[in-house]
Amino acid sequence: MKQQIVLSHEQQVAESHKQKKALSYDLQAGLYGQFANLGYRKKPLFEQITIPHIQPGQLVTLIGANGIGKSSLLKAIAGLLKVEGKLCLNQLPLSDMTAKQRLGHIGYVPQALPQTTPLTPFEMLRSSLLHLQQTPEHQINTLITQVFQQLEISDIALTPLSQLSGGQRQMVAVANVLTRTPQLLLLDEPTSALDLRWQLKVIDALKQQVQRTNCIAIIAIHDINLALRFSDQVWVLGHAGVTHFGKPNKVVNSAMLAQIYGIKARVENCSQGYPMIITDAAI
């Protein structure tokens, strides 16, 4: 016969508090969680890393030195890299879903550009939306047209991807994820192939998407000045899973730049009032 375990009053109170705390954690809006053993068999990156609580309606830039693991972290959140731990998005247990199931909630843009195929951008986006089966078919063409107009790429909508430049294909990749209106946007260096004007266009479009749909956007980016200007929060990734997270003016400073990037630099405001990095020397 199984012996019944009787808890003392103090133990019952402690257990009740523990359960309530766990329940409140699971019912929070936004993104939060913790990963363990993130990396690859021959290249482990982090034994443990905490995903900070990111509220809906925020654009977060993920910054850090080359090779620190930003891309791998985004892949893990997207469900494309096997990792231990727990991840929740607006009460949904993403960590219990397959990568295919996460597609309904997450829009992911990798560093790699869309392949050079005979498909046109319009055909590519239409095929993607039809496959996901989340948008009524009679609304798809209008939705794609609106996103192309927003990004000012309507002129290449019917040009085969094989005839587009790297920067143009990167714009198409961003358009593809914007048409889906997911709860979480993950973009890995979406401005790397773009000139200055198009960088601003893309970041501004993502900012508008966040504000309009109350989604979360996490953007891995190397341009810290763009991060300072457009971010609601900055997430700094350091060695061994050490992270800094908070408002740009609280997180990005001379000490952080020295620690993470190994540079002597200052944060000053330009004539228009925007903060910007002034780099003095490598340390």
Query: pLDDT tens across 186-231, in order?
Result: 999 999 999 999 999 999 999 999 999 999 999 999 999 999 999 9
Q: What is the per-residue pLDDT across 90-146, written as a single tens digit (0 to 9) for each?
A: 999 998 988 778 888 999 999 998 889 999 999 999 999 998 888 889 999 999 999
CA separation for the pair 218, 203 (Å, rounded): 11
CA dihedral 49, 216, 260, 191 (to 10 degrees): 130
Q: What are phi and psi of 144, to 5 degrees?
A: -60, -45
Mean pLDDT of the chain: 89
Q: Which residue has the tokens 């239409």?
A: 126
Is 94 within the bounds of a domain?
yes
What is the Cα 182 distance to its own chain's centre? 12
Q: What is the pLDDT of residue 2?
A: 41
Beta pairing, strands 31-40 & 84-89: antiparallel
CA separation for the pair 7, 103 (Å, rounded): 44
- Same domain? For 198 and 276 the reply is no
Number of Cβ within 10 Å of residue 186's Cβ equals: 24
- Same domain? For 69 and 207 the reply is yes
- Same domain? For 103 and 145 the reply is yes
- Same domain? For 232 and 262 the reply is no
- Same domain? For 75 and 125 the reply is yes
- Report the domain count for the chain: 2
- Same domain? For 215 and 259 the reply is no
- Same domain? For 181 and 280 the reply is no
Q: What is the pLDDT of residue 22?
A: 44
CA separation for the pair 145, 120 (Å, rounded): 13
Q: What is the CA radius of gyration of the chain?
A: 21
Question: Residue 264 class from Cβ within 10 Å (0-12 exposed, 13-18 middle, 19+ buried)?
Answer: middle
CATH of the domain at 198: 3.40.50.300
CA separation for the pair 251, 254 (Å, rounded): 10
- Domain range for 262 is 253-283
Is 95 within the bounds of a domain?
yes
